[in-house]
Amino acid sequence: MKYKKKSFYFEDYTESELTDKNKHNKVKISLNRVTFLSFIFFSLIVIFSIKIFYLSLSAEKSFYSQSKQSEYLKTRRDIVDRNGAVLATNVILYDVGIRPELLKKKEKKNLIIKLGLQFPELDLNQIKKKLNKEDFFYIGKRLTPKMKEKFWLMGNKAFYFEPKPSRIYPQKSLFSHVLGQTDDVNTGISGIERFLNESLNNKEKIDLPLSLTLDSNLQHLIRKELKQAESDFKNKGSGAVLMDVENGEILSLVSLPDYDLNRRVTISDEVYTNKITLGVYELGSVFKTFTIAVALENKIINSNTIFKNLENSLTCDKYTISEHDKLPKNLNAEQILIRSSNIGAVRIAQKVGIEKYKNFLNSLELLNKINFDLEETGTPLNFKWGKCKLATSSYGHGITTTPLQLAKAYAILGNGGYKIKPSILKTNTKFAKKKEKIISKKTSSTINSILRKVVSLDEGTANFADIKGYDVGGKTGTALKYNSKEKLNTFIALFPASKPKYVLLVMLDEPQPSPNYVYEFPPSEKFPSGYKYKGETRNTSGWNTVVVAGKIIEKIGPILAINNLEASTKF
């Protein structure tokens, strides 16, 4: 049997053909990979480009800059003075705490050592006790970023940093009685911060600062002189207010003692009362000006009306009314005010009568609570009118008001008789409302003329306020404090007296005699070059408050003249 032989046929390929085929496959595979990687790379570029473009058009989204700073810094409006100087603003401060449970015994000892080296002012014994109790506690509050960083750089895991919105006051104590304070959640609890709390938290106005009428430069100068007075006359407190008599804008309001608003301490001692707006006092002879004014206004007297045979003292019920110095028996109305005669004021008030006198004081809004931009405003004490009350009120005893209301009343007397509303809020009103006239221009001019003589004439009680070039007029007031032998001395000035632009009230609480103080008397007819005097033991207003007021006017006068061209022509 014959078998057929099977054979296998193999197709032969040349080497070049095999090589070309392999290359084709490899190139195909490589191109696929490159295409895929290119797509991935291109997609990433597109994604990052979109992200960068988005971030460039949107606000920063970092945790601290967005969620913290936006949340904290934009919660309350800034407060600025009339020139734009910042009085209150918002920052992020830090509370730094310690978590003792995170530290071992040896670590606690090391921490105490490091804290002692970095912060020698800390009470290490107290910190050591708290560390041993292992309860969380704060080691510092309201720390600046710089102080917080010192703790952070210690690198201790037990530290806890809590950022908090905080209200700070760059001027520290300069405006403490006006601005007031906020609590831990930035809610106003006193002063402007409380009175305008809702407006200050208005999110629609968050970038619009609240502007006050106050001037930081004037405030600083006035406060400086009041602080100097404490050294010269040993008074326990003082106050001053400077106001524009035409529109009621308050340029300065100082009450001492004051306090640093940034320390955020509870103020409860009555010595820290806002003496200008909240304090209610008997202010003494400054009321004699109103007694003369009401008599002039009702045409009961004129400035030359003579009062003859004035007693040195008289009695009314249980009251004995006497003169502060020996005065001539016969004085005209003008001289009664210039020489501050108590008996003369009583005689004028008796001619006026209770109803006219009471109505005049009410028209000046001296006897009721004033409508003002702070909740810290006092209410004058009520009393029953009678013949003896009329007599004592005529020279400022047995009748009370606040220094702010007194300044307002003098502003009305000085500005031609027009009613004004004192304010510390700067308004943008371009059109002035028609003013209400309370007293005649003639009465106003007569009073201004007499007040000038109180300062300029030798027999006047306020010679130390006769600062050359400023045409100052004013009236002194010396009053005994209730149930006390201590005094409350006041001087209120209008300047320039020919056409007043400003009213300045200065008050010293319980000044003491200053026999070592050297008094410098201004030039006069008797002493053309002036003279110096030392050894005075009296502590009436003319010997202390007037001195302080004169120094204040001398310091602030140039600033007021520069800031007001109309005023500068008068100086």
pLDDT of 483 over the 60 cut: yes
pLDDT per position as a tens digit, 428-438: 665 567 889 99
Q: How far apart are CA 418 and CA 427, in angstroms?
A: 19
Averaged pLDDT of the chain: 88
Q: How far apart are CA 529 and CA 503, in angstroms?
A: 29
The whole-number pLDDT of residue 524 equals 72
Q: Are 490 and 403 in contact (CB under 8 A)?
A: yes
The whole-number pLDDT of residue 57 equals 62
Q: What are phi and psi of 129, to 5 degrees?
A: -65, -45
pLDDT of 366 over the 50 cut: yes
pLDDT per position as a tens digit, 71-121: 445 579 999 999 999 999 998 889 999 999 999 989 999 999 999 999 999
CA distances from 555 to 54, 239, 404, 571 (A): 57, 17, 22, 13
Q: Are 332 and 303 in contact (CB under 8 A)?
A: yes
Q: How far apart are CA 423 and CA 334, in angstroms?
A: 32
pLDDT per position as a tens digit, 274-303: 999 999 999 999 999 999 999 999 999 999
CA-angle at 241, arms to 187 and 477, nearest 5°:
135
pLDDT of 419 over the 90 cut: yes
According to DSSP, the β-strands at 306-307 and 313-316 are: unpaired
CATH architecture of 68-211: Alpha-Beta Complex (3.90)
According to DSSP, the β-strands at 210-211 and 79-80 are: parallel
Residue found under tokens 């809020």: 425
pLDDT of 421 over the 80 cut: yes
Name the pLDDT band for 62 (thresholds 50, 70, 90).
very low
Listed by start position, the domains of the chain span: 23-58, 68-211, 219-568
Q: How far apart are CA 285 and CA 291, in angstroms?
A: 10
Least confident piece of the model among 188-197, 317-326, 349-358, 368-377:
317-326
Q: Are 316 and 343 in contact (CB under 8 A)?
A: no
pLDDT of 567 over the 50 cut: no
Q: What are phi and psi of 128, to 5 degrees?
A: -60, -45
The whole-number pLDDT of residue 69 equals 45
CA atoms within 13 A on the CB side of 167: 25
Least confident piece of the model among 72-81, 369-378, 465-474, 546-555:
72-81
DSSP 8-state code for residue 451: H
The whole-number pLDDT of residue 53 equals 67
Task: Taking residues 187-206, report their average pLDDT.
Answer: 94
Which amino acid is located at 91 in the chain? V
Which amino acid is located at 12 in the chain? D
Note the CATH number of domain 219-568: 3.40.710.10
pLDDT per position as a tens digit, 198-218: 999 999 999 999 999 999 999
Name the pLDDT band for 528 (thresholds 50, 70, 90).
confident
Which amino acid is located at 367 in the chain? L
